[in-house]
Amino acid sequence: MPDSGRPSPQEPDVGDVAVSVADVLAAQARLRKYLSPTPLHYAERFGVWLKLENLQRTGSYKVRGALNALLAGLERGDERPVICASAGNHAQGVAWSAYRLGVQAITVMPYGAPQTKIAGVAHWGATVRQHGNSYDEAFAFARELADQNGYRFLSAFDDPDVIAGQGTVGIELAAHAPDVVIVPIGGGGLASGVALALKSQGVRIVGAQVEGVDSMARAVRGDLREIAP
């Protein structure tokens, strides 16, 4: 079960909180002590370059946003435990980042989440709470725990610090002067960050979603907040 490819109906909204290129550059400065740039690989059959984020720490770009959010929070004096809802990659990113920074982390993962992901989260010392049969149920429970205990809730995509961290992928791509960048869209954090980093350079950004779980595409067409079951 991957991380949800759509926002939860209860997901908090970034709303009017602006994320700027300066925020992405600040994230890059924070992360360079902990994370290395990932390489590009030319897929000759398709004639495209692939950004190998599978070679990043924890095997996913999600660690960029999680780590930047924790570092930015500590800079602001926020030392609260963090909690997230995730079926895998975001949870691992939060767990690894919290381990490196000495922050307590709790991850809520739905039943059915891959055992390898659960083991990865536990390996880095985060508390794993399993709840619900879907991301939405895990999310609601994580928010409840955050409200009850004063934890900082860390969204996988709807958080300015997370978006800025994901945007460092775009900063790395910029060095290769691309004309078009195709970005997968789940919740939209990666696409938002990459677009921030590259749009000022005239790069065309194309978001891609799997047919049938295309909530962002439907939102662009005007079906706002129409969440499929």
In a domain, 14, yes or no: no
Count of domains forming the chain: 1
Over the stretch 7-33, which tens digit does the pLDDT of each residue have? 444 443 445 568 999 999 999 999 999
> What per-residue confidence (pLDDT) applies to 9?
40
Q: Give residue 214's pLDDT band: very low, low, confident or very high (50, 70, 90).
A: confident
**178: in domain:** yes
The verdict on residue 229 lying in a domain is no
Each residue of 66-101: pLDDT tens digit?
A: 999 999 999 999 999 999 999 999 999 999 999 999
Indicate whether 16 belongs to any domain. Answer: no
134: tokens are 């879907």
On whether residue 148 sits in a domain, the answer given is yes
Residue 2 belongs to a domain: no
Rounded CA-CA distance 195/169 in Å is 10
- pLDDT at position 82: 98
Q: Nearest 10 degrees: CA dihedral of 131, 135, 138, 144?
A: -160
Residue 207 Rama label (left phi>0; alpha psi -120 to 50; beta)? beta
Whether 155 is in a domain gets the answer yes
- 1 pLDDT higher than 50: no
Tokens of 72: 């930015």
Question: Within a domain: residue 117?
Answer: yes
CA–CA separation, 31 and 38 (whole Å): 13
Share of the chain above pLDDT 70, in %: 90
| CATH value at residue 66 | 3.40.50.1100
Q: Distance (Å, rounded) from C-alpha 141 to C-alpha 185?
A: 24
Instruction: Tell me the pLDDT tens digit for each residue of 140-177.
Output: 999 999 999 999 999 999 999 999 999 999 999 999 98
Range of the domain at 145: 21-220
